Amino acid sequence: MPNFNGCVIARRYELVQQLGRGGFGVVYQAIDHGVAIDSDEQYVAVKIMQKAGRNEADLAALKQEVILHGIATTCSDGVVQLIDAFEDDAYCYIILELCRGGDLYDHITKNTYQGNDELLRRAFISLVDAVQAIHDAKIAHRDLKPANVLSNEDGSELYLADFGMATTEPVISEFGHGTSHFMSLECIGELTAQQPYDPYLSDIWAMGVILFAMITRTNPWSKATIKDDDFCEFLMDPDYLFFAHPISSGAHAIIREMLQPDPTQRISLRNLRQAILSLDTFFRQMCQFEYVVHEHERITIPPPAINPMLATPKSEFKSTNKAPEIDILDAASGPAARVAQNCSAGSAVDISSTTTSQLGCHDPDCSSCSSSRASSGASDAENVGTPEGIIPTMAINTGAVMMAGTHHKVVRGDHGLQNVPFVPAQVAMAQYGVPQAQYFPIFVPAYPVYYVNPNAYPYH
């Protein structure tokens, strides 16, 4: 599509900045010269969709999107307002309310809701109310995801957008349409033999995935099929999400009701609203999330053998609270990423700067997990050293390359640990009886490295 910057549409809307682009369309910020200057309504969003290359069914779907979005606009303030719509020979134009806060995806990736129960509650309730309103108007959205939910600037109010897949049908037989991470298993159809399904109940499933993402900054799985390891874990153990992610027991109970494999057993939107309002917290602190090693489970692991040729002579060793930086190579990312090892207070080597925020523990007074630390008995005042003054620098770097090269994923086997974030090697061995060789642990002796959560939130 051409560059429309500076163009004036319908002698009224001056396009000034591109906001987004898709395969058949583009969205611009525009000045509405039909309203007073400095008015709150002076700026609008203009969605331009190309007609060329689309068949009759596609063009009919465009018209239905405009009609259903217009109906939804009259139902709730939680829907992005449709101001106008028109077409010419080449393009369709939809004039929309401009939401300056971006979309929900932006707020999730910026940690807007982390540790802020009331902000998250207010935002999600606004989403529930908007979906309830369109459902009451007999409209199912069918493509609920963070990129299709816009917000105000502080993220406290959410607004439904993009009604391109919306329907008024009570039962549909279209499968595999939408974004894989948010599609219900009946929408995918693999586990239901593609039986016709209720799109309104499918919307509730998508909202469950959205709520999970707002709490954890991760998606629970890539696609709700038996080929997805995380989804299989969920089917086998409904408590899997609770033990694998830092969500509160109350939030987990709500999400389980939203993600019921049987659509008829999912929580209603009205009951969902009440459950969210009654919930004390969405988050579980890291100190509650980590597995506690009991005294009878403790085992002694001898320090790894160090090749004398790789060791630093004792005379050259200087004890310090700050271990040297290491280069962690990731074949997927190209250049090396330099990460400082903070070994104070017996901490684990900090492989990723995002892991603490993913877990959501920000309590500086937390005695068991402050600053991503693993309690090992050392204090801030103590110097971190190694047996006989030897620093296994090359061994650390080799282990780091092995970890990053496999994208920080736990080795899969029959031991029951799959994508479990932040499990120390000693705990894994004690709890699951897994040989040390299966875990590629990296040691500054007595300081185990924690595995990085592989599900960092990258998805729209």
Would you list which residues are annotated within the binding site for ATP? Answer: 47
219 CA to centre of own chain? 5
Q: What is the CB-side half-sphere exposure of residue 257 using CA atoms within 13 A?
A: 14
Dist. CA 281–CA 246, nearest whole Å: 12
Q: Number of C-alpha atoms within 13 angstroms, CB side, residue 206?
A: 28
**Distance separating alpha carbons of residues 392 and 310, to the nearest angstrom:** 7
Closest CA to 217 of 460, 458, 457: 457
**The two three-digit tokens of residue 452, written as one number:** 């990085």
Query: Burial level of 190, CB count in 10 A (0-12/13-18/19+)?
Result: middle
Among residues 77, 115, 114, 98, the alpha carbon closest in space to that of 31 is found at 98
Binding residues: 47
* Closest to 159 measured CA to CA, from 205, 127, 204: 127
Q: Specify the amino acid at residue 325.
A: E
CA angle 274, 154, 97 (to 5 degrees): 90
Rounded CA-CA distance 81/441 in Å is 53
E strands, 292-442, are: 326-328, 337-339
Residue 95, SS3 per DSSP: strand
